[in-house]
Chain A
Amino acid sequence: DTGVSQDPRHKITKRGQNVTFRCDPISEHNRLYWYRQTLGQGPEFLTYFQNEAQLEKSRLLSDRFSAERPKGSFSTLEIQRTEQGDSAMYLCASSLVGRNGYTFGSGTRLTVV
């Protein structure tokens, strides 16, 4: 297993465009998390899934953001009508239920111009 994989690693988009990121968790992990990290800050929680169910969403996750995990394996995070304030590193992590300590992917760095 190669760990948590995120694609793409970098994305530059024009303001107003939609973007979609993908995360492939460690195969046996049933929990998947999305975090956002801006420069000089720690990661901030966005949402998490247990299998295909989205169990919690942060207030940071505006209605322009949507996340899915349709088959309980990979997940996608879509941002519609991107704004410059969306520029950040988007991190995905996975874990097993009952085990703490996520394994993070390398992240997708989004730049909105």
Chain B
Amino acid sequence: GQQLNQSPQSMFIQEGEDVSMNCTSSSIFNTWLWYKQDPGEGPVLLIALYKAGELTSNGRLTAQFGITRKDSFLNISASIPSDVGIYFCAGGNTGNQFYFGTGTSLTVIP
């Protein structure tokens, strides 16, 4: 199956720093999703984006649906230790399966 390109693969940051990650696809999607996964658990939905150019926030998290509809971005401001985990993007079209990225592993150093 298709996997989206996600970067960076891993990040080590100091508590309080901002984080940026992105996801690209060779296909056009009409929906982008961002999930966070803790070890041994299923992914948890953070943000859903439905329109090209859309910018959506959820607390300290902000995600954007790229204008080309082939990419998306996630920013985390003022990181805290509980932000540690693996972040996955997922792209799809309404009613069909979603394709997931390879994940960005985030480590926050107190």
A-B CB pair tally, cutoff 8 Å: 63
On B, residues with C-beta under 8 Å from A are 1, 3-4, 6, 31, 33, 35, 40-45, 48, 50, 88, 90, 92, 94-103
**Chain A 67-104 interface mask (CB, 8 Å, partner B; 1/0):** 00000000000000000000000010100011011111
* Nearest CB in chain B: distance from A98 CB, A: 8
A44 touching B100 in the complex, CB below 8 Å, given contacts A100-B92, A105-B42: yes
Q: Is A43 an interface residue (CB 8 A)?
A: yes
Contact in complex: A100, B50 (CB < 8 Å): yes
CA distance A4 to B50 in the complex (A): 24
Q: Is A41 an interface residue (CB 8 A)?
A: yes
Q: Is A25 an interface residue (CB 8 A)?
A: no
Report the interface size class on chain A.
Answer: 20 to 34
Contact in complex: B31, A43 (CB < 8 Å): no
Q: List 8 interface pairs A-B (beta carbons < 8 Å), by A numbering.
A: A42-B6, A42-B101, A43-B88, A100-B31, A101-B33, A104-B42, A105-B42, A106-B42
A104 touching B96 in the complex, CB below 8 Å, given contacts A42-B102, A43-B88: no
* Nearest CB in chain B: distance from A83 CB, A: 19
